[in-house]
């Protein structure tokens, strides 16, 4: 396996490379949050969609995650949180290993509930996922289409997860980078629920995601390689720079 070629030329690593390049655009003394999809796995056959949670990283996925860690800015100490699903844990461990190999300071924090548990009945979710495209399903969820006892209301999930994740930044080291490794569904839901950015045709790739920091009166967001200011949502009470 030629990991250098995979990292530098593969289509599925484009997003990961843009994140690495984009992190240098933030202020050197800022604390950052990075929401990241797990590394490469095989695609499940449609009839085995209900087994997708058991899929682990491919050899390419392990190697690329380690490469991602090696390419993170060394001056930023990192803390890594992950979903309970194996491939997210494997991604975290490989990023941790890669960053330590380059002499960086890394802390593997472990499982973090909002990165997997979104309060949706699994049977109901899988049934809906078979019938609707992700974007349609997300909009139906946000519109309150489903019973709240089966689907935690979208706004409730988005706000609760935001407070849990954003509040962790207070304890992050100076110039720190908190990395949250999750799934495409969760990542796109966060992006929509926190920043009001609906999903478009650009699907989030393996090791893709977004990074952001808090400024005095706005959020500075790295999204698909572009650094842009985003208005703070009204429900985020602490509007001071962390």
CA pair distance 54, 67, nearest whole angstrom:
24
The structural domains of the chain, with segments of one domain joined by +, span 3-123+154-231
Assess whether pLDDT exceeds 60 at residue 20. yes
Assess whether pLDDT exceeds 80 at residue 81. yes
CA pair distance 149, 16, nearest whole angstrom:
36
Q: pLDDT tens for residues 165-215?
A: 999 998 999 999 999 999 998 999 999 999 999 888 778 899 999 999 999
Backbone phi and psi for residue 147, each to the nearest 5 degrees, phi listed first: -60, 130
pLDDT reported for residue 47:
41
Work out the burial of residue 158: count CB atoms within 10 Å of its CB; fewer than 13 is exposed, 13-18 middle, 19 or more buried. Answer: buried
Top pLDDT among 13 and 48 is at 13
CATH number of this structure's domain 3-123+154-231: 3.40.50.1240
Note the pTM of the prediction, 2 decimals. Answer: 0.92
**Eight-state DSSP code of residue 59:** H
CA pair distance 96, 104, nearest whole angstrom:
9
pLDDT reported for residue 131:
82
Between the alpha carbon of residue 52 and those of residues 29, 55, 69, 182, the distances in Å are 39, 5, 25, 14
CA pair distance 150, 152, nearest whole angstrom:
7
Q: What is the mean pLDDT of residues 109-135?
A: 79
Contacts of 189 by beta carbon, 8 Å cutoff, 6+ apart? 118, 138, 154, 157, 158
240 half-sphere exposure, CB direction, 13 A CA radius: 3
Assess whether pLDDT exceeds 60 at residue 51. no
194 half-sphere exposure, CB direction, 13 A CA radius: 25
Closest by Cα among 241, 242, 236, 204 to 223: 204
Assess whether pLDDT exceeds 50 at residue 2. yes
């Amino acid at each position: 396996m030629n990991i250098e070629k995979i990292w530098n030329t593969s289509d599925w690593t484009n997003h990961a490379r843009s994140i690495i390049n984009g992190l240098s655009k933030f202020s050197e003394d800022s604390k950052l949050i990075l929401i990241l999809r797990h590394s490469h796995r095989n695609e499940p056959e449609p009839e085995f969609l209900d087994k997708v949670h058991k899929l682990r990283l491919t050899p390419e996925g392990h190697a690329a995650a380690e490469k991602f860690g090696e390419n993170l800015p060394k001056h930023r100490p990192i803390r890594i949180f992950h979903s309970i699903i194996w491939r997210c844990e494997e991604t975290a461990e490989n990023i941790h290993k890669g960053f330590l190999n380059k002499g960086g300071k890394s802390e593997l924090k472990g499982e973090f509930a909002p990165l997997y548990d979104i309060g949706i009945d699994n049977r109901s979710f899988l049934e809906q996922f078979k019938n609707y495209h992700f974007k349609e399903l997300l909009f139906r969820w946000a519109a309150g289409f489903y019973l709240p006892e089966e689907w935690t209301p979208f706004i409730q999930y988005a706000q609760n997860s935001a407070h849990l994740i954003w509040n962790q930044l207070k304890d992050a080291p100076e110039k720190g980078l908190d990395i949250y490794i999750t799934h495409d569904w969760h990542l796109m839901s966060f992006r929509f629920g926190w920043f009001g950015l609906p999903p478009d045709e650009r699907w989030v790739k393996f090791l893709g995601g977004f990074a952001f920091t808090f400024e005095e009166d706005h959020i500075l967001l790295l999204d698909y390689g572009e650094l842009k200011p985003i208005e703070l949502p009204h429900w985020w009470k602490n509007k001071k720079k962390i």
